[in-house]
Amino acid sequence: MHLFFLTHGILRQEEEWKARLRAQMFPWKRTNLETGKEEIKMVQGALRPVQIWSYVFPEESLNDVLGGMHITGPIVRPELKGVTWLLRKMLKLEQIPETDLTKHPVSGFIPYPTMTMNGKPMPATAVYDMFVEGIACYPIGIKKDPKKEYDWTAVGQGKYFQEGL
């Protein structure tokens, strides 16, 4: 029996929840074809992720993220096009744009020549290859965050017009 569901929550609690599911043992009845007798064996519940993830980052870094994840554009696997279309519509997402990986390498550095941190030139940020063998990542779509004024004076940071990550 397979139960399919979606999850959404704080990662720390999700990790505990997954550990509890993986630790659960169940009696499994089966009939031995040689003896004709019913046997009961204890088996562990198998948690197999089929997940929808949301990765949050600044809009200006879209091409770096797509390149780092080896996503070159909309999904091309015919058996998944209908599913990803339906999920994109349900989640109110836009289509993944085409990306030229030769212009957006999967590793390297993003220079910040005009930015400063604590009054000093900001160091370049590494762009990592985020692809891992054994993980299938099927892009569904993107959603832009609203850009508006935010008041951070209560935490000593002032007011900003920014993307609402």
Structure confidence by residue, pLDDT tens digits, 90-137:
999 999 888 776 665 555 556 566 666 677 766 666 666 777 777 777
DSSP conformation letters of the chain: --------S-HHHHHHHHHHHHH-EEEEEEE-TTT--EEEEEEE--------------GGGHHHHHHHTT--SS---HHHHHHHHHHHHHTT-BPPPP--TTTS-SSEEE--TT-EETTEEPPPEEE-----TT-------B-PPPEEEEE-GGGT--EEEEE--
Q: Which residues pair with 40 in a beta bridge?
A: 29
81 vs 125, higher pLDDT: 81
- Opening angle at CA 141, ends 160 and 125, nearest 5: 50
pTM (2 d.p.) = 0.65
Separation between Cα atoms, residue 99 and residue 49, nearest integer Å: 27
Separation between Cα atoms, residue 139 and residue 61, nearest integer Å: 16
CA of residue 14 relative to chain centroid, distance: 14
Token digits for 143? 């959603």
pLDDT at 68: 78
Question: Is the pLDDT at 138 greater than 80, yes or no?
Answer: yes
pLDDT tens, 3-41? 767 666 778 888 898 888 888 888 889 898 999 999 998
pLDDT at 94: 93
